[in-house]
């Protein structure tokens, strides 16, 4: 079975039409084992235009390195990759999907590709900007969110993984996760070591803390109680690093009522803390430059194709 090619808004036809057919994966793909874990292993690799293997990659070269054994005939550059696979709305992304961006001077030209990891995280090889090389960033960060173009599913039948063991932890943009999964998102019971030194253990729902859990801040403050959408919500108990205690009720991270004071008692001000999971501290929130991506490689491909076409079209020279 072959995955159909679909058109994408604003992608101009190439000078010489090449039949790009994306074959189905050779075997069922375990996204965590076969895609995300190998991709994470390259985190920190340098960027180089034209790079398709260590020690450096460009954005589409990185995708080819990760997917090459599982999706034969994946095109070389992001602009052509965006024309294959099954289109996926942004709100329906699953780990292993490809995400495309227009990071150049035109909003209708694809220049960059990333791999979606779950929990609002993408891994990609970036040519320039606050982070360079293979790195994990939030998809919702302003730079990437405003330059989002499209996304596609090139793994039509991925094998679902129900749990991630500690030795197979997933590195998301906000921290490292082990525990239960649902369609690749943290869901059920799990633990997360956040990038700022905080730690959470408890229930998750579709990527965020939800249900009952314990959140420990890097300074030793601790909260145990209800959570919703990543923030303290419902009844809970806050214990400051000093040992002071406050029991109360929170709504969306805000302390709205003190239920019982214990001795020694923590002040409401001390208990007014938020979780890191919702922080928007990525440097991509404020950066506004141009990520060059692999557009120059696409241009070189077109030039070579044009020259070959012209060579073949020229009438033979007479003696």
Contacts of 241 (CB under 8 A, 6+ apart): 219, 220, 221, 222
Beta carbons of 247 and 225 less than 8 angstroms apart: no
Q: What was the pLDDT predicted at 229? A: 94
Domain ranges of the chain: 2-159, 163-272
Strands annotated E in 4-120: 22-23, 46-47, 52-53, 56-57, 86-87, 98-101, 112-118
Residue 285: Cβ-neighbour burial (10 angstroms; 0-12, 13-18, 19+):
middle
pLDDT above 90 coverage of the chain, percent: 64
Q: Is the pLDDT of residue 18 over 50?
A: no
48 a catalytic residue = no
Distance CA 44, CA 134 (A): 5
**Residue of 59, 70, 187, 233 marked active site:** 59
**Residue of 48, 56, 70, 112 marked active site:** 112
> What is the dihedral sign for C-alpha 294, 300, 302, 305?
negative
Per residue in 93-113, pLDDT tens? 999 999 999 998 888 999 999
H or E element that contains 135: strand 133-138
Report CA-CA distances (Å) from 267 to 217, 221, 234, 262. 17, 13, 18, 11
* Residue 314: HSE in the Cβ half-sphere, 13 Å Cα cutoff: 8
Distance CA 83, CA 19 (A): 11
Per residue in 221-280, pLDDT tens? 999 999 999 999 999 999 999 999 999 999 999 999 988 655 556 677 777 788 999 888
56 a catalytic residue = no
Contacts of 23 (CB under 8 A, 6+ apart): 2, 3, 71, 72, 73
Give the residue, 296 or 139, on which the prediction is more confident.
139
Q: What was the pLDDT predicted at 37? A: 93
pLDDT band at 149 (very low <50, low <70, confident <90, very high): very high
> ∠ CA(226), CA(231), CA(236), 5° rounding?
30
Per residue in 304-318, pLDDT tens? 665 665 666 666 666
Q: Tokens representing 40?
A: 């994470």
Structural class in CATH, domain 163-272: mainly beta
Q: What is the mean pLDDT of residues 56-62?
A: 97
pLDDT band at 156 (very low <50, low <70, confident <90, very high): confident
Ranges 34-38, 50-54, 159-163: which has the least confidence: 159-163
pLDDT above 70 coverage of the chain, percent: 82
Beta carbons of 18 and 312 less than 8 angstroms apart: no
**Residue of 48, 56, 70, 124 marked active site:** 124
pLDDT band at 17 (very low <50, low <70, confident <90, very high): very low
Residue 73: Cβ-neighbour burial (10 angstroms; 0-12, 13-18, 19+):
exposed
Q: What was the pLDDT predicted at 7? A: 40
Q: Is the pLDDT of residue 14 over 70?
A: no
CATH topology (fold) of 2-159: endopeptidase fold (from Nostoc punctiforme) (3.90.1720)
Q: Say what the pTM is.
A: 0.83
124 a catalytic residue = yes
């Amino acid at each position: 079975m072959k995955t159909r090619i679909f058109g994408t808004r604003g992608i101009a036809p190439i000078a010489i039409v090449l039949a790009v057919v994306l074959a189905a994966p050779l075997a069922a793909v375990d996204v965590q084992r076969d895609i995300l874990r190998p991709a994470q292993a390259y985190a920190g690799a340098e960027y180089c235009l034209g790079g398709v293997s260590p020690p450096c990659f460009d954005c589409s070269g990185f995708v080819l390195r990760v997917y090459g054994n599982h999706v034969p005939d994946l095109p070389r550059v992001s602009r052509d990759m965006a024309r294959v696979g099954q289109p996926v709305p942004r709100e329906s992304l699953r780990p292993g999907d490809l995400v495309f961006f227009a990071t150049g001077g035109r909003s209708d030209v694809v220049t960059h590709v990333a791999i979606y990891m779950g929990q609002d995280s993408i891994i990609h090889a970036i040519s320039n900007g606050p982070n360079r090389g293979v790195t994990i960033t939030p998809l919702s960060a302003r730079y990437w969110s405003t330059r989002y173009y499209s996304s596609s599913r090139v793994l039509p039948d991925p094998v679902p993984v129900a749990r991630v063991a500690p030795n197979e932890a997933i590195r998301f943009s906000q921290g490292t996760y082990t525990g239960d999964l649902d369609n690749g998102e943290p869901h059920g019971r799990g633990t997360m070591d956040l990038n700022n030194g905080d730690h959470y253990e408890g229930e998750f729902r579709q990527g965020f803390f939800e249900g009952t859990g314990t959140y420990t801040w890097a300074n030793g403050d601790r909260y145990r109680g209800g959570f919703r959408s990543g923030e303290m919500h419902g009844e809970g108990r806050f214990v400051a690093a000093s040992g002071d205690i406050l029991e109360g009720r929170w709504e969306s991270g805000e302390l709205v009522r003190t239920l019982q004071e214990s001795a020694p008692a923590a002040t409401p001000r001390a208990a007014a803390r938020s979780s890191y999971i919702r922080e928007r501290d990525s440097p991509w929130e404020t950066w506004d430059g141009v990520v060059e991506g692999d557009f120059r490689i696409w241009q070189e491909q077109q030039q070579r194709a044009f020259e070959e076409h012209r060579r073949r079209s020229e009438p033979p020279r007479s003696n």
